[in-house]
Amino acid sequence: MGTPEKPGELRKLFKEYGIEDKIDWIPIKSLYQINLPGGKNQSIPANRKEAERVLGESFPKEKENILRYFETVYQFHNQTNAFMVMQAKSTGEPSEFKKLLVKSVFAKKFPVLAKYAMCSTQVVLNEFFEDRELQLCLSAYWCFMGMPPERFPFSILARCTAIYIEDQPYYLRGGSQVISQALADKVREKGGMVSYNCGAKEILVKNKKAYGVIDDKGVEYTCDDIISGISPIDTYFKLIKKEEVPKSAKEYLAAYTVGISALTCFIGLDCTPEEIGYTDSFNLTYANLDCNEGFQKAYTLLPETDPLINTCYTVDDPKVSPKGTSVISAGTLKFGKAWMELSPEEYHKTKYEAGSIIIDRLEKMYPGLRSHIEEIEVATPLTHIRYLHHPEGAIYGFEQDLKSSVFFFPREDQIDNLTFANGWGNICGLGPNYMYGAQVADRILNRESK
């Protein structure tokens, strides 16, 4: 978001849409807190100099490495931005010239980007640090993509780190639905139409061109362009007649694997965060120092030792819930397949056993939490399937590892006039996908204006 005085890209976009002032943005004081296996806690301030200072105090033997690391992260971020600008300016040039330009100039002009663009987070962390606890403290954003550090692209970690520090993290009072509502209101204001409780039953395709949609009430709409907000898997193979789906669609998507889902407890407490020792709104807890090994638990059902993610935005905004209360979300990343194989009886038992394990783990960090619970709901990968209709309950689209993200997102459309704007073809998260949606819209409008 950035600040009103120094707006980030998302704030600029929302201002362009006329919805910036329709949303209450609550600044968050710290990036996150890491709870390490031995009981040590490390909070990372949302300020570069402060982050370098507190980490240097906690890990004095790595102080110079910490400074070098943050400098590398920022250089990577800045060079990525500069390269993207250069790419944008090169539009229309012959492809052979582009190849020559990149080959001859890229490594000299963007040395940090060239060195680390195709590296995993673990490779880079190993280069800079020996302390495993420090590595965990700096790699927290792996969970945002659902990939362990050995498979998580450093390019995403570096960008997340620099952007969150410079543009600051924010909480939306009322949750992300507030943005959706503001956009819907603006669409209507401009003469557009928004329909609710109205799913798509079929996408109409003829001669490899999409030309309309039939909704689940049987109403047919014709149009020049269709933008799907669901997975390419369901779009191509559930909404389009089999004979109209090109062979290329199946071949193209075969290289991508459905990503991870989640197991989450939504908890309402009858106390303030301070009463149980909650100090940071975003927390990541590790049961062991090997995050890559811990990630393997995501393929199992119960969360005894999985990395645990919990948030309490009441810390930064007491108005999130009624006075004297708190709202917590706590859970871990889980793949959907193991949950999909349970019988209904097994599912009910396992769901609440898993929720109880999460509460027990939270109780160790925040004594008294269990006794303050007024309401709790447990969501599993099956819950995400029910509400999102995503394959296997995926919350991050396809797996976003080195081979299928950043430079390799599945963005090639297989049917004319049908494209996508979501986390299945882009880096995940609200901000990135609002901006990607704007890019898709601009591309369509520019094509139609010619």
Residue by residue, DSSP assigns 287-347 as SSS-HHHHHGGGGSS--SSS-EEEE-GGGT-GGGSSTT-EEEEEEEEE-SHHHHTS-HHHH
Handedness of CA 13, 15, 20, 22 (dihedral sign): negative
Q: Which residue, 376, 393, 410, sits at the end of a domain? A: 393
Residue 373 resides in a domain: yes
Instruction: Scan for tokens 């309490």, then name that residue.
Output: 312
Domain count, the chain: 3
Q: What secondary structure letter does DSSP report for 271?
A: S
Residue 133 resides in a domain: yes
Residue 289 resides in a domain: yes
- Helix, strand, coil share of the chain (percent; to 5): 50, 20, 35
Residue 327 resides in a domain: yes
Query: Is residue 199 located within the same domain as residue 216?
Result: yes
As a whole number of angstroms, the distance between CA 307 and CA 142 comes to 11
Query: Is residue 266 located within the same domain as residue 240?
Result: no
Query: Is residue 404 located within the same domain as residue 333?
Result: no
What pLDDT score was predicted for residue 95? 59
Residue 190 resides in a domain: no
What pLDDT score was predicted for residue 428? 85
Q: Which residue, 350, 372, 393, sits at the end of a domain? A: 393
Query: Is residue 373 located within the same domain as residue 438?
Result: no
Sheet holding 200-206, edge to edge: 200-206, 209-215, 220-222
As a whole number of angstroms, the distance between CA 306 and CA 148 comes to 12
For residue 20, the Cα-to-chain-centroid distance in whole angstroms is 21
Q: At what angle do helices 154-167 and 63-89 cross, to 10 degrees?
A: 90
As a whole number of angstroms, the distance between CA 107 and CA 83 comes to 11
Q: Which residue, 393, 408, 424, sits at the end of a domain? A: 393
Query: Is residue 241 located within the same domain as residue 335?
Result: no
Q: Which CATH number covers residue 208?
A: 3.50.50.60
Query: Is residue 212 located within the same domain as residue 331?
Result: no
Query: Exposed, middle or buried by CB within 10 Å (0-12, 13-18, 19+), for 242?
Result: exposed
Query: Is residue 233 located within the same domain as residue 346?
Result: no
Query: Is residue 111 located within the same domain as residue 217?
Result: no
As a whole number of angstroms, the distance between CA 388 and CA 198 comes to 14
Going from the C-alpha of 431 to that of each of 114, 164, 284, the distances in angstroms are 26, 11, 21
Residue 20 resides in a domain: no
Tell me the whole-structure pTM to 2 decimals: 0.90
What pLDDT score was predicted for residue 132? 95
Query: Is residue 104 located within the same domain as residue 206?
Result: no
Q: Which CATH number covers residue 375?
A: 3.30.519
Query: Is residue 287 located within the same domain as residue 231?
Result: no
Task: Share the mean pLDDT of the chain.
Answer: 92
Domain that holds residue 87: 37-167
What pLDDT score was predicted for residue 449? 77
Ranges of the chain whose pLDDT falls below 70 = 90-104
Query: Is residue 233 located within the same domain as residue 280?
Result: no
Residue 10 resides in a domain: no
Q: What confidence tens digit (pLDDT) does each residue in 368-410 have? A: 999 999 999 999 999 999 998 899 999 999 999 988 888 889 9
What pLDDT score was predicted for residue 276? 95
Residue 382 resides in a domain: yes
Query: Is residue 367 located within the same domain as residue 283?
Result: yes
